[in-house]
Amino acid sequence: MQTSFHWLDTTVLVGYFIGITLFGLWIARRIKSSSSYFLGERKFKWWIMMGQAFGTGTHAEMPVAQTGATFHLGFATIWYQWKNMLITPFYWLLAPWYRRSDRTTVGEMIEDRYGRKLGLAYSIFAIAFFVFNMGAMLQGAAKIISVATGNLISPNGVVVGMTVAFILYSFFGGLVATAYTDFIQGFMIIVLSMMLIPLGLDVVGGFEGMRQTLPDNFFQLYSDVSGLTAFTISMLAINGIVGITAQPHMMSMCATGNNERSGRIGQTYGSLVKRICTIGWALTGLIVAAMVIQEGVVLPDPEMAFGYASNKLLLPGLTGLMVASVLAANMSTCSNFMVNTGALFTQNVYKRYLNPDAVDKQLLWTGRLSGFILTLFGVAFALAIDNVLHAFLFTETIAAFMGIIVLGGILWKRANRVGATMAVIVAFGLYYVLNYMDTDQVMLVYRWKPEPFGWAMLAGFSALILFSLITKPEPKENVDAFFESMNRLTDNDIVDKLGYKPEAKEYGKDLLLVDAPGWFSKERWKGFPKRYKEDLLGFVLAWGVVVVIVGMAWGLMQLGK
């Protein structure tokens, strides 16, 4: 076992870093327009979409947080990540929403549904979301790399260095460079996350050795000792399903493929690959927990566990490769966020309010420069936070409160701008009031608790319904136009052949979740299930994969008994 960063690791790290950066810059030569920069001209194949979803959705704070939580409280903490396992099949149903909106940003989609002011308000939130998320990711990578290199590099030094790195190619390459580097880094994260497991099991004496060292509750798939009750898991799942609809990078995740199925496959199965990797991170946490007890070592911070395992278990050269893959995966994720941040500012602020007559070249450079400047705020947030798990849950929670208006606006035609505005104000306000009453402290990032979150969500949805019903509805022509787009197919090959967007029901691709109250009308049941074939088959298949993954985790926890 190595106890410091070997020269071989440095060689691998530098070589890999240079290689992935040059690859990103090489891909960047394709970028000639704002459409290429922000959306890749909607031409990505399903495998690129899958790699993009996995790479962008899997970043350094996740193995840090999961391994640290499992190291501290046991395998059942996997539900902090697996909260989205229970809602992943719904990704298949909601992915087409974003493509059918025919917009560049979710902010524009909100504007179509509720008007300009809410579109601007969402864009401000979305920019803040990206800043907070980039901060959490940068700090997460910093914790891994600092420990894995034997503390030769400070966490803050990692944050600054990584930022300079991903800006190099994302500034020029946009979403195209991001998507292709995500695809490559996804393979590296899978291989190297799993590589720690056999090496660690050999050190601690296999599952039998771990069971002799650790308490029995550390091996339970569900345990109250972990702090995750059934109520907590259900609140985390609600956090996930509502929050995912408002996450501003959903447009690039779901709407940039060459057809709707590419977006569905990418978002659903790219996410399910991450759920499998989560098993590896949790198992690594158990291994490190046994290692430190057997070796008489104390880790001052549980979130050092993943980096500690990388440093102690991997041979010279492989530690450098692990560090490089974590670094590069985070770079490509931050790149995606940087591009989306630039898109939001350009499309929803600059073009809308500052320069409505801007030509495409101006939009392209505004996107580049605004993304770069706003990324620097993410660095500042990274330098200010200590606990990555709390920061991660915070970003998902604020997305869930905004998700009330996105999900509500799709599910219910009667939702209006007054109801949406009050929903956000009530949800955010109650959440912070309840947390302040519980802690007697004014904070931006509170430790996530299910009770304040649950009450805030209930109050937010109630406000959406109540204020929408007692105030004037949205203009009928606007609502009809929005929902008409949701009922039209957008597959490139079909649209190019016909010259227009056909009704999706003619191809079995009507959407189950659009205007849920419409299910009380006879019209929605005509031709069922033929008109909803794509939704139904994909949804059932995704649930089958979920059952297999959960069964795999349960089976692993039975070993060594």
Q: What is the pLDDT along the chain (561 residues), one digit of tens a residue?
A: 444 567 888 788 778 777 777 777 787 766 677 777 776 677 788 888 888 888 777 776 677 778 998 999 999 999 878 878 889 999 999 999 999 999 988 999 999 999 999 999 998 888 888 877 777 677 666 666 666 666 666 656 656 666 676 676 666 666 677 777 777 767 776 776 688 899 999 999 999 999 999 999 899 998 777 677 888 888 988 988 999 999 988 988 898 888 999 999 999 999 999 899 899 999 999 999 999 999 998 888 887 888 788 778 888 887 777 777 777 667 767 777 777 888 888 888 888 888 988 888 888 888 878 877 877 777 676 666 555 555 666 777 888 999 999 999 999 999 999 999 999 999 999 999 999 999 888 877 777 889 999 999 999 999 999 999 999 999 999 999 999 999 999 998 899 899 999 999 999 999 999 998 888 888 888 888 899 999 999 999 999 999 999 999 999 999 987
> Where do runs of H (alpha helix) occur along 385-443?
388-411, 417-439
Residue 314's pLDDT is 81
CA 355 to chain centre: 32
Residue 369's pLDDT is 85
Burial bucket for residue 496 (CB in 10 Å: 0-12, 13-18, 19+): exposed
Question: Helix or strand or coil: residue 499?
Answer: coil
Burial bucket for residue 383 (CB in 10 Å: 0-12, 13-18, 19+): middle
Show the CA angle centred on residue 282, arms to residues 553 and 78, nearest 5°: 70
DSSP 72-141: HH-GGGGHHHHTTGGGTHHHHHHHHHHHHTT-SSHHHHHHHHH-HHHHHHHHHHHHHHHHHHHHHHHHHH
Residue 397's pLDDT is 82
Task: Tell me the domain boundaries of the chain.
Answer: 7-26+36-415+536-556, 416-470, 477-533
Give every CB contact of residue 226 below 8 A, 6+ residues apart in sequence.
69, 73, 74, 76, 77, 79, 217
**CA-based diameter of the chain, in Å?**
70
Superfamily of domain 7-26+36-415+536-556: Sodium/glucose cotransporter (1.20.1730.10)
**Pair 251, 105: CB distance under 8 Å:** yes
The label of the residue with tokens 């990032």 reads 445
Q: Find, among 405, 391, 419, the residue nearest to 125 by Cα.
A: 405
Residue 101 sits at φ, ψ, to 5 deg, of -70, -20
Residue 305's pLDDT is 87
Residue 348's pLDDT is 85
Which pTM was predicted?
0.85
Asked whether the bond before 452 is cis by omega within 30 degrees of 0, the reply is: no
Q: In whole angstroms, what is the distance from residue 129 CA to residue 370 CA?
A: 15
Give every CB contact of residue 298 below 8 A, 6+ residues apart in sequence.
292
What 3 state SS string does 201-270 have?
HHHHCHHHHHHHHCCHHHHCCCCHHHCCCHHHHHHHHHHHHHHHHHCCCHHHHHCCECCHHHHHHHHHHH
The number of CA neighbours under 13 Å toward the Cβ of 200 is 28
Element (H, E) at 521: none
Token code pair at residue 103: 């917009």
Task: Quote helix, strand, coil % in the chain, to nearest 5.
Answer: 80, 0, 20
